[in-house]
């Protein structure tokens, strides 16, 4: 089956590389010409806690080189979504095409459905961590879980198929009871991490360990969860991060949970995780703040939910931009 990663930066390269390494037909698509050249010339280099390896992979800067795809995985920055989709508009007529987005945020499925038709869309979310080190070389910084699910939450052959391919490639993947719940849980976990990383410029484990940022982390989680519940979204702990407990536990206990998680990250050597929003800021690129944090701030105002900590962070990040 042909798998196309549209937006093969750090995360897309790690995912695509793992799939290609396991023998699946994968094409990486990115505008980064140097990255493509290095991959095609000397292979894709992936660095992880278990070592370094070089994977033979196909890469291109021209989406029109793709004549057919069974699975199209979107991983461009949200600001580039429409341009990226237009670049593969020639695939619209392919009847067995299946598209999914592993971008941050929860509005992505609606965008894909409007462009390709809802019948071609699968819900998806992941917390795999990755960083681009240099052209042709990426770091796999966190072995996070990935979820796939039909928008109506039925277990279909195509969902079972993509889930099986990821698992066979060493990428832990599951089918949740509700993909909408899984996507919102990811957003609730991502939002405080991205907000605090952008403002403090700290690695993720340091954000978790510090008592002040841990307190803010829990506060933002609770603000986001309040909105989700207002929208009728059931929050479950899909990513083994204790989101349910963080929402409902005593504040002091919740803060200690976060600090303990930071200690565990450090103990396990997970000290190089840099949230993607901070990576964008450091490289002087426009962030996804409006599609993620800004989306929640806007929805919260619409539904009368108070999110003061999150709105403060959103305005600071907008000022930084």
Structural domain boundaries in the chain: 2-175, 181-320
The pLDDT value recorded for residue 306 is: 97
Nearest-angstrom CA–CA distance, 164 and 154: 16
Q: What is the percent of the chain where pLDDT is above 70?
A: 100
- Could you give the angle at which helices 251-267 and 211-230 cross, rounded to 10 degrees? 120
The pLDDT value recorded for residue 160 is: 98
- For residue 156, pLDDT beyond 80: yes
The mean pLDDT of 83-88, rounded to a whole number, is 96
The pLDDT value recorded for residue 239 is: 86
The mean pLDDT of 41-60, rounded to a whole number, is 95
Q: What order do you get walking across the sheet with 121-126 strand by strand?
A: 58-60, 25-29, 2-6, 71-74, 98-101, 121-126, 146-150, 173-174
User: Is the Cβ–Cβ distance between 33 and 56 less than 8 Å?
Assistant: no
The mean pLDDT of 23-40, rounded to a whole number, is 97
Given pLDDT bands bounded at 50, 70 and 90, which one contains residue 10? Answer: very high
Of 87-101, 239-253, 292-306, the one with minimum mean pLDDT is 239-253
The mean pLDDT of 52-60, rounded to a whole number, is 97
Collapsing DSSP to helix, strand or coil, 102 comes out as coil
Q: If you classify domain 181-320 with CATH, what class do you get?
A: mainly alpha
Nearest in space to 162 (alpha carbons), one of 319, 5, 46, 57: 5
- For residue 5, pLDDT beyond 80: yes
- Whether the model clears a pTM of 0.85, i.e. scores above it, the answer is yes
Q: Are 2-175 and 181-320 in the same CATH fold?
A: no
- For residue 218, pLDDT beyond 90: yes
pLDDT tens digits for 253-287?
Answer: 999 999 999 999 999 999 999 999 999 999 999 99
- Report CA 151 to chain centroid distance, whole Å: 18
* CATH domain 2-175 topology: Rossmann fold (3.40.50)
- CA count, 13 A, side-chain hemisphere, 175: 18
The pLDDT value recorded for residue 310 is: 97
pLDDT tens digits for 171-188?
Answer: 999 999 999 999 999 999
pLDDT tens digits for 89-121?
Answer: 999 999 999 999 999 999 999 999 999 999 999
SS3 sequence, 204-253? Answer: HHHHHHCHHHHHHHHHHHHHHHHHHHHCCCCCCCCCCCCHHHHHHCCHHH
Query: How many Cβ atoms are within 10 Å of 48's Cβ, its own excluded?
Result: 15
The mean pLDDT of 83-94, rounded to a whole number, is 95
The pLDDT value recorded for residue 221 is: 97
The pLDDT value recorded for residue 241 is: 83
The mean pLDDT of 216-226, rounded to a whole number, is 97
Nearest-angstrom CA–CA distance, 145 and 164: 13
């Amino acid at each position: 089956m042909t798998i196309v990663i549209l937006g093969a930066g750090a995360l897309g390269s790690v995912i695509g590389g793992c799939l290609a390494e396991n023998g699946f037909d994968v094409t990486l698509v990115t505008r980064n010409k140097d990255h493509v050249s290095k991959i095609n010339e000397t292979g894709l280099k992936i660095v992880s806690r278990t070592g370094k390896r070089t994977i033979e992979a196909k890469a291109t800067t021209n989406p029109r080189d793709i004549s057919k795809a069974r699975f199209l995985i979107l991983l461009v920055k949200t600001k580039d979504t429409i341009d990226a989709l237009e670049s593969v508009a020639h695939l619209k007529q392919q009847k067995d095409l299946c598209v999914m987005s592993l971008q941050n945020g929860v509005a992505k499925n609606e965008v894909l459905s409007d462009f390709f038709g809802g019948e071609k869309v699968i819900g998806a979310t992941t917390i795999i961590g990755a960083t681009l080190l240099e052209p042709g070389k990426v770091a796999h910084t966190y072995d996070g879980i990935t979820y796939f699910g039909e928008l109506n939450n039925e277990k279909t052959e195509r969902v079972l198929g993509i889930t099986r391919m990821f698992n066979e490639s060493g990428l832990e993947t599951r089918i949740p009871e509700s993909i909408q719940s899984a996507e919102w849980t990811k957003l609730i976990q991502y939002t405080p991490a991205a907000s605090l990383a952008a403002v403090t410029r700290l690695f993720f484990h340091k954000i978790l360990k510090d008592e002040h940022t841990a307190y803010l982390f829990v506060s933002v989680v609770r603000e986001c969860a309040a909105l989700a519940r207002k929208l009728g979204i059931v929050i479950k702990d899909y990513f083994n991060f204790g989101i349910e407990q963080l929402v409902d536990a005593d504040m002091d206990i919740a803060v200690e949970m976060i600090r303990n998680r930071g200690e565990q990250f450090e103990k396990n050597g997970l000290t190089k995780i840099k949230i993607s929003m901070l990576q964008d800021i450091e490289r002087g690129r426009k962030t996804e703040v409006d599609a993620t944090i800004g989306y929640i701030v806007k929805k919260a105002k619409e539904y009368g939910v108070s999110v003061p900590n999150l709105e403060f962070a959103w305005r600071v990040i907008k000022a930084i931009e």
